[in-house]
Amino acid sequence: DGATTLFWESDVPIDLSSIVVRREFVKSTDGALVPLFIVANKDVTLNGDNAVLQYGYGGFDIAILPRFSASRATWIQLGGVLAVACIRGGSEYGKTWHESGMLENKQQVFDDFIACSEWLISSKWTNSNKLAIQGGSNGGLLVGACMTQRPDLFGACLPAVGVMDMLRFPLFTVGWAWTSDYGDPKDATMFKHLYSYSPYHNLKKGTCYPPTMVTTGDTDDRVVPAHSFKFAAELQYSQACANPVLIRIETRAGHGAGKPTHLRIDEAADVYAFLWQSLQMKEQ
């Protein structure tokens, strides 16, 4: 009869009945409708002043699907709003959705994400001072590209274990395998595309960038920490205002898979403390 039955429920000290999820569709630069999931307290008001954390990935045929996260529930309990953008590059709508955000089409991924950011502001969910963006690995590239292209749009940026140097990524560990999605910088045509959005190469000295906390692991053999080290150093050098640029380096840690719960809690605490300060949040 199509009915659903509860199979298992996480035991968390949070009133989940007070949290609601809604799905919106945002028109991107080419007219495509991009799904945007918004998670918030059900009594949230659209006053243009909510602290919103926007997350995305957008690559390698990976779908970002709804799931439960105690950490995200904590963010909602703190008074924040979570927005998850199902942008091109993933597999949310099959092969075409993936191919529309790879190789020479990679800029479309960033355009989709920025369109969602602008929609959140125009729809009075938040404003540019209260909007934070977050992503890891390929999602770290996403954050890096968006903050270099639109530094005016965000109140905080959280690139994690990101691919930040798009001209040298094939030279380290398994980076060569990513050319299927990114393209090979040895190819003259792809070099131009990669250079046009490479976060490290598009930082401009004298620009006021948002408060940023880069995170990485010192023994990450998937996306080597040199990407984050270089980006953070160049960002600190380029920063033209008092907004902080921090890097959080987890020692004896890799790309994130298998990370013990206590370390995940420590990192989440640091991230949310950074957002609390950067977005000027207040106790509920």
- Please state, as a whole number, how many other Cβ atoms lie within 10 Å of the Cβ of residue 46: 11
Given the residues 28, 100, 137, 228, select the one marked as catalytic.
137
* H or E segment and range at residue 275: helix 261-278
CA distance 214 to 232: 7
17 is catalytic: no
Give catalytic status of residue 193 as yes or no. no
Q: Find tokens 């949040």 and name the residue.
A: 281
Nearby residues of 191 by Cβ (< 8 Å), 6 or more positions away = 167, 185
What is the helix, strand, coil percentage profile of the chain, to 5? Answer: 35, 20, 45
How far is C-alpha 9 from the geometric centre of its chain's CA atoms?
Answer: 27
Q: How far apart are CA 8 and CA 202, in angstroms?
A: 47
Is residue 123 a contact partner of residue 98, using CB atoms and an 8 Å limit? no
Q: What is the DSSP letter of 210?
A: P
Options 198, 227, 255, 278, the catalytic residue: 255
Residues recorded for the chain: 284
Under DSSP, is residue 218 helix (H, G, I), strand (E, B) or coil? coil
Which residue bears the tokens 């035991």?
Answer: 11
Q: So which residues are the catalytic ones?
A: 137, 255
